Structure 1
Amino acid sequence: PAWLPWVVSAKSREAVREQAARLAVSVRGADTGSGAGAGAGGGALDVAHSLVSTRVAMEHRAVVVGSGLDDLLAGLDALAAGQPAPGLVEGTATEGGGVVFVFPGQGSQWAGMATELLDTSPVFAARMAECAAALSPHVEWSLLDVVRGVEGAASLERVDVVQPVLWAVMVSLAEVWRSCGVEPAAVVGHSQGEIAAACVAGALSLEDAALVVALRSRALRALSGLGGMVSVACGVSVVGELVGRWEGRVSVAAVNGPSSVVVSGDADALDELLVVCEAQGVRARRVAVDYASHSVHVERIEAELAELLAPVEPRSCGVPFYSTVSGGVIDTVGLDAGYWYRNLRGTVEFEAATRALLADGFRVLVEVSAHPVVAAGVRETIEDAGVAAGVVGTLRRGEGGWERFTLSLGEAWACGADVDWDAFYAGTRPRRVDLPTYPFQREWYW
């Protein structure tokens, strides 16, 4: 890999820092006189592989990511000194029921969001090609042309383009996580993200998922220009009182966390709501859409969706599917045309689904997207629930390549996720090299 992770773990944070210091000295070839040895005796890849193949992973963890020895050593120095660094992540592994793949709705898109991985990850590129083939019967544009920003390609500003593209990116990113041994023990999706969640869990075939996301987003174009959505930084009870004066015209669209709610409805009513929020000191902002998902507006396309999505054949799957329609686990055989209408019409019960996941013991949640969108709401819910759990992203705006993914992979490992490092280093020929001994943190008995 062009970007390598050096992983360090110990029984305490202090021991992690001393371990980093010892490793830096060893790699630089200096003898500390502590028995650490005069040097690792290998290159960056040899050290990286030896760290994951000859050491037990302990509770307190850190990962340094770099493209060469200089970057990696600078990260180790920062870790040893207790300082932040661009390629450094730290965490504490928590015991739980495995990793949850979290798929957001709209909002994670950005120009060029997947082009780096298309050129550097064969796994990602192959899955994107499969998604493009599955979408092709339902769209008149090219998935890969849109992602690469080819001149004349369809615009991501169109709802019937951005939703299928995001679906393809999320499904393909999930495949990259899996190629590194990170398998979902459960899935959850926010609004359209449930289509990707169902596909990754095995509840929908790739072809059926492509049909749902392409045809449903096309039907949404009939609602364009009629409404909108507003994000409000308050609890759902407060927001419910705020929108009560516009009954039937504004409704709660999504409950993302204890103080993160989205409402949708008529455009003029939302303008009035924003004025009221400003007067009361409530933070609120427009969401960049011109239609009102999860509101009465959706009822206009109910019959059309029933006909368009009738061919879908859902099936039960082995991966628990936490529905944001019901707020809990459901049998995915029920993900038929009617479900995908309710998913678009009803309130997104994302906070309820997150609480159900935490109650069932899940402690590592990975947002599989081009940019973290729902991670903030998840963290709010975790804090409110009073549990120790980790939230990890995948890519970020302006960081859409292997460096960012490797850092996210390391962050997931630092939170306790199982990573198949042998799979990560597949195709390389690293040597095992000597590493410094464990830095025991001694205490006087008397």
Structure 2
Amino acid sequence: MSVSDVGFSLVSSRAVMPVRGVVVGSGRGELLEGLEGVVSGRGGPGVVWGSQGVSGVPGVVFVFPGQGHQWVGMAVELWDSSPVFAARMAECGRALSGWVDWDLEDVVRGVGGAPGLDRVDVVQPVLFSVMVSLAALWRSCGVVPSAVVGHSQGEIAAACVAGVLSLEDAARVVAVRSRVLRGLSGRGGMVVVGASRGEVEGFLEGWSGRLWVGVVNGPGSVVVSGEVGALEEFVGWCEGGGVRCWRLDVDYASHSPLVDEVSGELLGLLEGVVPSAGEVPFVSGLVGGVVEGEELGAGYWVRGLREPVLFEDAVRCVLGGGSSVFVEVSGHPMLGVGVEQTGGVCGVDVGFVGSLRRGEGGWGRFLLSLGEVFVRGVGVDWARVFVGGSRVGLPTYA
């Protein structure tokens, strides 16, 4: 009797109870240790458990972040261990090939001569590919979104996953838009501030016309975008006044009027992008609510680069629709604080789950994430995970 057979039998021949636990391990020893962690209540690195009604939750929302969740080697393990992920990454590579002068797999694997993730016109298409491929992996395990939410450039992946943009059009948008951004490199920046939007707008009165609110992540997290010199002054002012802030690793000022310089060029380059109605509701981080798919033509993607990201409003919209479990489809979770803060203000106990983590980019990490959504009441098709498993006799419940 193999471990795989035991796991398959548990998910295929046992009722799903309100109290659920999932143990992930690389062998019998780790799995027994994890089970002991469940029994004792002390948990462990490969253990998740929770209590949910067997009827499940109204729906799971896929969230796609902007730049920042990249790390060297983030997709290599999954590429080598998951046929579903590898196939979708290969499709993304083919879709990008007409718009970039580098190979997606070479960049991900760090092949000599390939450009690095320090270039905006490389990192954004790579992140897009990883997010789209992770979404395909979630779906292959039976976790299907009831809505998608994008954050900054993550909206491109969200639109693709929702069926609003074809993979080819989405690849074009992310490649062209990130290439145009290179023209703004070195002339701006962005700073996260731990305060509300109203507070930050008050802070910025002394830098009118030089700094702007670029992103509203949640009730206590705002990103300021603008000129390099003005940002240096602002950071010094924050530090002197005890206002928590930190710089983002970007050298351009997206989501600000400084983008106007390249807006006309970008609009022309994206002419011909044809959106459709889509298959999944698209909750826009640009307007903070549901947007019909046909509205996501070239003009939308120019506005999305220039105007503020209203992520908090988008999360409020989702919560108002009854969904409370969010899956961040990314290389490392970034948006959990904003989602949980917004849920707290709205009086909703949200569940937030990532996909991968820095330094943890393999099948085991993804299985643990599957377990995390399962114990929160989301349906998982475990039979697809235990491919080749056979049903065996197990002891009955006490």
Q: How many Å separate the matches in 2 of 1:115 and 1:314?
A: 31
Q: Does 1:267 align with 2:228?
A: yes
- What is the match of residue 198 of structure 2? 237
- Corresponding position of 1:368: 329
Asked whether 1:431 is paired with 2:391, we answer yes
Query: Counterpart of 1:51?
Result: 10
Residues 8, 389 of structure 2: 8 Å contact kept: no
* CA distance in structure 1 between the aligned counterparts of 2:396 and 2:209, rounded to whole angstroms: 67
Cα distance between partner residues in 2 of 1:208 and 1:290:
27
Per the alignment, residue 37 of structure 1 pairs with none
- For 2:192 and 2:82, locate their aligned partners in 1 and report how far apart those are by CA, in whole Å: 35
Aligned to 2:248: 287
1:91: Cα distance to partner?
2.3
Alpha-carbon shift at residue 433 of structure 1 (Å): 2.1
Rounded to whole Å, the distance in 1 between the matches of 2:124 and 2:147 is: 23
What does 1:275-424 align with in structure 2 at a 5 Å threshold?
Answer: 275-424=236-385
Q: Structure 1 segments of 4 or more deviating over 6 A?
A: none
Supply the distance in 1 between the matched residues of 2:242 and 2:181 (Cα, whole angstroms): 33
Cα distance in structure 1, aligned partners of 2:28 and 2:249: 43
Secondary structure at the residue paired with 1:269? helix
Identity %: 57
Q: Is the 8 A contact 1:231 1:287 kept in 2?
A: yes
For 1:371 and 1:435, locate their aligned partners in 2 and report how far apart those are by CA, in whole Å.
39
Letter in 2 for 1:357: V
Q: Tell me the amino acid that sits aligned with residue 393 of structure 2.
A: V
What residue number does 1:195 align with? 156
Aligned to 1:17: none
The aligned residue for residue 218 of structure 2 is: 257
Paired residue total: 396
Q: CA deviation at 1:388?
A: 2.2
C-alpha distance in 2 between matches for 1:74 and 1:249 = 56
1:93 is displaced (CA, Å) by: 2.8
Matched residue, 2:89: 128
- What is the rounded CA distance, in whole Å, between the counterparts of 1:49 and 1:382 in structure 2? 35
1:224 is matched with which residue? 185
TM-score, normalised by the number of residues in structure 2: 0.97
1:181 aligned residue:
142
One-letter code aligned to 2:22: V
**Using the alignment, how far apart are the partners of 1:85 and 1:289 within structure 2?**
36
Distance 1:411 1:157 in 2: 32
Does the 8 A contact of 1:255 with 1:262 survive in 2?
A: yes
Residues 257-277 of structure 1: per-residue CA shift (max 9 Å, x gap): 111111100011111111111
In the alignment, residue 383 of structure 2 is paired with which amino acid? D
Structure 1 residues 255 and 92: CA distance shift in structure 2, 3 A: farther
**In the alignment, is the contact (CA less than 8 A) between 2:164 and 2:275 conserved in 1?**
yes
Q: Larger radius of gyration, structure 1 or 2?
A: 1
CA contact (8 A) 1:46 1:433 kept: no
CA distance in 2, matches of 1:435, 1:248: 70
State the Cα distance separating 1:219 from its structure 2 match: 0.4
For structure 1, the residue ranges without an aligned partner over 5 or more in a row are 1-41, 439-446
For the residues of structure 2 that align with 1:197 and 1:261, how far apart are their CA atoms? 22
| Structure 2 residue matching 1:89: 3-state secondary structure | strand
For residues 139-194 of structure 1, the C-alpha deviation after alignment (integer angstroms, 9 at most, x for no partner) is 00111100000111011100000000000000001111111111111000100000
Give, as a single letter, the amino acid of the residue that structure 1 aligns with 2:20. Answer: R
Amino acid at match of 1:119: D
- Equivalent position of 1:152 in the other structure: 113
State the distance in 1 between where 2:326 and 2:266 align.
32
Classify the secondary structure of the residue corresponding to 1:217: helix
Selected match of 1:66 from 7, 17, 25: 25
Q: Please report the RMSD computed on the Cα atoms of aligned residues, expressed in angstroms.
A: 1.1
| Whole-angstrom CA distance in 1 between matches of 2:92 and 2:246 | 33
2:175 equivalent in structure 1: 214
Which piece of structure 1 moves more, 185-194 or 84-93? Answer: 84-93
Name 2:57's counterpart in structure 1. 96
> Shift of residue 416 of structure 1?
1.3
Q: Aligned partners of 1:430, 1:68: CA distance in 2, in Å?
A: 18
Q: Can you list the C-alpha shifts for 1:329-377, whole angstroms capped at 9, x where unaligned?
A: 1101000110001111111000100011011000211000000011221
CA positional deviation for 1:97:
2.3
Is the CA contact 2:57–2:378 (under 8 Å) kept in the aligned structure 1? no
Q: How does 1:29-44 map to 2 (within 5 A)?
A: 42-44=1-3
SS at match of 1:215: helix
Q: Secondary structure at the match of 1:107?
A: coil
TM-score normalised to structure 1 length? 0.87
Partners in 2 of 1:202 and 1:92 — Cα distance?
Answer: 33
Query: What amino acid sits opposite 2:290 in the alignment?
Result: V
Q: Deviations over 1:294-338 (max 9, x none)?
A: 011111111001100011000001211000111011101000110
* Contact kept in structure 1, 2:23 and 2:47, CA below 8 Å: yes
